[in-house]
């Protein structure tokens, strides 16, 4: 069914992949195409069987496939449904970004990928767009609902032993909906205000379930990956990767005094100083953050 498709348009393109809107049998899907290393592509296809995937998670490709299988298993609206993945020869070249140019390690990986003639194709359900496209159009209540939905998605990942590691405005997708209310955390009912949100792009997902290298074991030991997911959502998602806001948030986290200019910077922002402060002070207590924003919706 998924072998023949028609490319309709380009949804997004970055240093990791290109995403197309495609048409199959009069239905629309998203096709994510990204370069993979030759050694990953040539591994026997029998290793794609679920019971063999985990044995190969020292390779990034199999980590992605393993997480995709987990998503399909829980079948939750706050993640992307994966319909099919395959490996094929391709001529797609991922663009070189300024971030990569300034990171020698990632630049080396990028150059190795460019030499590869193989791509991983992932066909998923299609969303309406990224959070970046609508962020500044959302009302306060819509922002609160988005926060609660993504906090729930992050909770599901952490509860099952995964860390997203790359939460930002372009890795959060939205889909318009007529569903008025949804349930999160088993017993919390929230209003959608017309939007359902999901976490996408799982290339950087990290888990202790994987076969880890020595450096990765050290990485997992030294860093608080759960904290980093919540921090990334606040700085790179809710506050749209704003350098000035990032510095202010770090001041709050380090218990430094804010200047009057720091506090006035929140004027007109989608998340107030008071709400940002509460999020920061309880960043290691996510359920308190959930209850806080749930109460804000109820009060408005």
Are residues 148 and 111 part of one domain? no
pLDDT at 180: 96
- 191 falls within a domain: yes
- 278 lies in which domain range? 129-299
How many other C-beta atoms lie within 10 A of the C-beta of residue 86? 13
pLDDT at 22: 95
pLDDT at 100: 64
Q: Of the residues 81, 103, 124, which one is the last residue of a structural domain?
A: 124
Nearest partner of 150 among 236, 254, 28, 268, judged by Cα: 236
Are residues 219 and 286 part of one domain? yes
pLDDT at 47: 54
Are residues 197 and 174 part of one domain? yes
- 34 falls within a domain: yes
pLDDT tens, residue order, the chain (300 aa)? 677 899 999 887 776 678 899 999 999 999 988 888 777 777 655 555 555 677 777 777 788 888 988 898 888 999 988 888 888 888 777 666 666 667 777 777 777 777 888 888 889 999 998 999 999 999 999 999 999 999 999 999 999 999 999 999 989 999 999 999 999 998 999 999 999 999 988 888 999 999 999 999 998 899 999 999 999 999 999 998 789 999 999 999 999 999 999 999 999 898 999 999 999 999 999 999 999 999 999 766
pLDDT at 51: 53
Are residues 289 and 203 part of one domain? yes
State the CATH number of the domain containing residue 31.
3.30.200
Are residues 174 and 37 part of one domain? no
The model carries a pTM of 0.86
């Amino acid at each position: 069914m998924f072998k023949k498709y028609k490319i309709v348009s380009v949804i997004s393109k970055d240093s990791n992949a290109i995403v197309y809107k495609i048409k199959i049998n009069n239905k629309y899907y998203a096709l994510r195409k990204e370069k993979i290393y030759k050694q990953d592509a040539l591994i026997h296809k029998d290793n794609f069987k679920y019971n063999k995937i985990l044995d190969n998670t020292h390779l990034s490709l199999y980590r992605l496939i393993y997480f995709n299988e987990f998503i399909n298993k829980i079948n939750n609206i706050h993640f992307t449904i994966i319909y099919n993945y395959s490996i094929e020869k391709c001529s797609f070249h991922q663009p070189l970004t300024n971030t990569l140019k300034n990171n020698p390690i990632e630049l080396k990986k990028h150059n190795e990928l460019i030499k590869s003639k193989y791509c991983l194709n992932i066909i998923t359900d299609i969303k309406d767009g990224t959070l970046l496209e609508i962020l500044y159009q959302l009302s306060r209540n819509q922002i609160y609902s988005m926060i609660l939905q993504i906090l729930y998605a992050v909770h599901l990942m952490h509860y099952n032993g995964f860390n997203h590691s790359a939460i930002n405005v372009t890795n959060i997708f939205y889909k318009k909906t007529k569903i008025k209310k949804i349930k999160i955390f088993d017993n919390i009912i929230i209003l959608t205000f017309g939007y359902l949100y999901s976490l996408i792009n799982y290339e950087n997902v990290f888990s202790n379930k994987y076969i880890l290298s020595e450096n990765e074991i050290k990485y997992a030991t030294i860093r608080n990956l759960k904290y980093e997911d919540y921090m990334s959502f606040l700085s790179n998602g809710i506050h749209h990767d704003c350098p000035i806001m990032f510095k202010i948030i770090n001041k709050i986290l380090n218990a430094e005094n804010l200047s009057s200019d720091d506090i006035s910077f929140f004027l007109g922002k989608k998340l107030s100083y008071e709400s940002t402060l509460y999020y920061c002070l309880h960043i290691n207590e996510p359920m308190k953050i959930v209850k806080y924003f749930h109460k804000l919706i109820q009060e408005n």
